[in-house]
Amino acid sequence: MNSEEEAAALVLCSMKNSKVDYETALELEKTRLVILKKRNFQHPSSPSLSNHHTRLLSLVPPSLAEVIGNCSTPFDKRLTGSDTQEDQVRLLLKYGHVMQFLHPLLRPSEIDKIKKRGMVVCVYDRYGRMYEMVFRLWGTKAYVITTRNWFEFCIDHGLEKVLDWVTIWMFRHNVTGRICFVITSERRCFAKAIEPVFDLPVVARKKRTKSCSSSSSNLKRRRLNDDDRVISVD
């Protein structure tokens, strides 16, 4: 190693403990992700991870990747109005999604705790920031990730209903053994918002077509009546 390489190594080591502002941290993280994608990042301490686990590890900061143990399969959810409301403060998860993707990673004691009173979990974003929340059963047909910190998460990431999708996956912390989540977001403005008529069953399609025709006829009648009225000006 020559003198220039030694100097560069010292600078990198010193940067590890230095504090930077939020905008600089975001830029550094974006640069890191680009480099990792180009080099096809593989985590050396987890050789047995499947392809999708390796891909997930490449989307989080190295400091977080070092503590990620067994991972769940990720799944997507489109945010609804209630997911982003301040008076709700919870992300609603479908019962089927939790059973299919998250349940296999949980221990019996954890499942029991989640059903009874909820379990405190650490939720991380793609930059490694941690938000403490509660994962619990909500009613009998859904699960929620909740507490006031969920609304703070929405504010910090500018999440909006309909436009934004979140990708959710769970992992077990290598050091503490606790259950943790990683939640990332993506804006999909092009996503289908309303189901088109031709995707409906034939019977429903006929009913909608008849309803639309009736509404159109009523609108035409109102316009004709409005045209026949004489407007007087004093």
Q: What pLDDT is attached to residue 173?
A: 94
Mean pLDDT computed over 153-177: 94
pLDDT at position 201 over 80: no
Check pLDDT > 60 for residue 83.
Answer: yes
Answer whether residue 137 shows pLDDT above 70.
yes
Question: What percentage of the chain has pLDDT greater than the value 90?
Answer: 49
CB 182 within 8 A of CB 169: yes
pLDDT number for residue 43 = 39
- pLDDT band at residue 9, thresholds of 50, 70 and 90? low
State the pLDDT at residue 26: 67
Q: How far apart are CA 117 and CA 134, in angstroms?
A: 9
Q: What is the pLDDT of residue 228?
A: 47
Q: How far apart are CA 155 and CA 171, in angstroms?
A: 24
Quick one: which of 161, 193, 185, 190 has its CA closest to 76? 185
Model confidence at 40: pLDDT above 80: no
SS3 75: strand
Note the Cα 112 to chain centre separation in Å.
Answer: 25
Most confident of the ranges 17-31, 61-75, 125-139, 213-227: 125-139
- 3-class DSSP state of 30: helix
Whether the predicted pLDDT of 193 surpasses 60: no
Query: Is the distance from CB of 135 to CB of 142 less than 8 angstroms?
Result: no
Residue 164 CA from chain centroid, whole number? 8
Domains in the chain: ranges and CATH: 71-187 (2.40.330.10)
Widest pairwise Cα distance in the chain: 95
- 66 pLDDT more than 70: yes
